[in-house]
Amino acid sequence: MEEKQGKPVEPKYVVLLGPPGAGKGTQAARLRENMDLPHIASGDLFREHLKNKTDLGLKANAFMERGELVPDDVTIAMVVDRLSRPDCVRGALLDGFPRTIAQAEALDRALAGDGRKIGVVPCITVPDEVLVERLSDRWLCPICGELYHVLFSPPRQPGVCDNDGGELYQRDDDKPETVRNRLAVYWEQTSPLIDHYTRRGILVEINGDQPIDMVQADLRAAVAGNPG
Ligand code: ADP
Ligand code: ADP
């Protein structure tokens, strides 16, 4: 455990739960600014592998294109490896992982192996029809990963990243038919995690259907209110 001014600092592991488009990535980027924890997004890790044309990236892409989950064994190994790096000893903001009960159990085992545990699970809730609207107009920067939305969070200049001038792009899996499948997969395979973490007393529901800054305020309160 790390020490700050002589006192041991408890590591903080936060799992951001919520359907595709709920605002996990948007909120994690802002939360990081005041928490200084690594943001571990399983979807970003897969996309990074694909960009580098690794076997894992090519295997994952076949599932991602259909809006299905990548098999648990591959996903768990990739995230557990990431969590074992030194920058995660003080905690991490997990975004998009776990997405199944098997992944949640594997995460507990990996953290418990080093005497660590999840502190809080904010679940960002947004009605399905709003999610479809958000994802169909989601744009990203290929350089810094900044997220934009044509109506709700537009860049200063259309198609260009405010941070670095990168040319914004849309994700292939944000097509309406793939989005519908991803939402169905969320309700079937991921939503059981809501009960799972509620029973453990660490789930906090966050209303994601409000302006980005208000969601962030609620999220900060949820994370600060939990000592874990
Ligand atoms: P979103 O922004 O919609 O929440 P992500 O970027 O988290 O989406 O994930 C994109 C895709 O990557 C998913 O549809 C799935 O195919 C794959 N993926 C990401 N995380 C996981 C996971 N924990 N388990 C299985 N597949 C995953
Ligand atoms: P997730 O990571 O959960 O899939 P994102 O953070 O990528 O979600 O957000 C999906 C889209 O919705 C992005 O285009 C983002 O700019 C937009 N968005 C995020 N939060 C809000 C919000 N509170 N209100 C309106 N649009 C939002």
Let me know if residue 85 belongs to a domain: yes
Residue 72's CB is within 10 A of a number of other CB atoms, namely: 16
CATH code for the domain in which residue 46 is found: 3.40.50.300
Contacts of 213 (CB under 8 A, 6+ apart): none
Ligand 1 atom nearest 135 alpha carbon: 3
Q: pTM for the full model? A: 0.93
Mutate to test the pocket of ligand 2, among 32, 39, 149 (most ligand atoms within 8 A of CB): 149
Rounded distance from Cα 104 to ligand 2 centre (Å): 24
- Ligand 2 atom 12 nearest Cα: 134
Let me know if residue 159 belongs to a domain: no
Tokens 């899996």 sit on residue: 173
> What is the pLDDT confidence band of residue 5, given thresholds at 50, 70 and 90?
low
Domain count, the chain: 1
Query: Does 3 score more than 60 pLDDT?
Result: no
Query: Does 86 score more than 90 pLDDT?
Result: yes
**Parent domain of 66:** 8-126+189-224
Let me know if residue 155 belongs to a domain: no
Closest CA to 123 of 22, 41, 18, 35: 18
Let me know if residue 29 belongs to a domain: yes
Per-residue HEC secondary structure of 137-167 comes to CEEECCCCCCEEECCCECCCECCECCCCCCE
The predicted pLDDT at position 227 comes to 40
Let me know if residue 71 belongs to a domain: yes
Cα 198 off chain centre by:
19
Percent of the chain with pLDDT over 90: 86
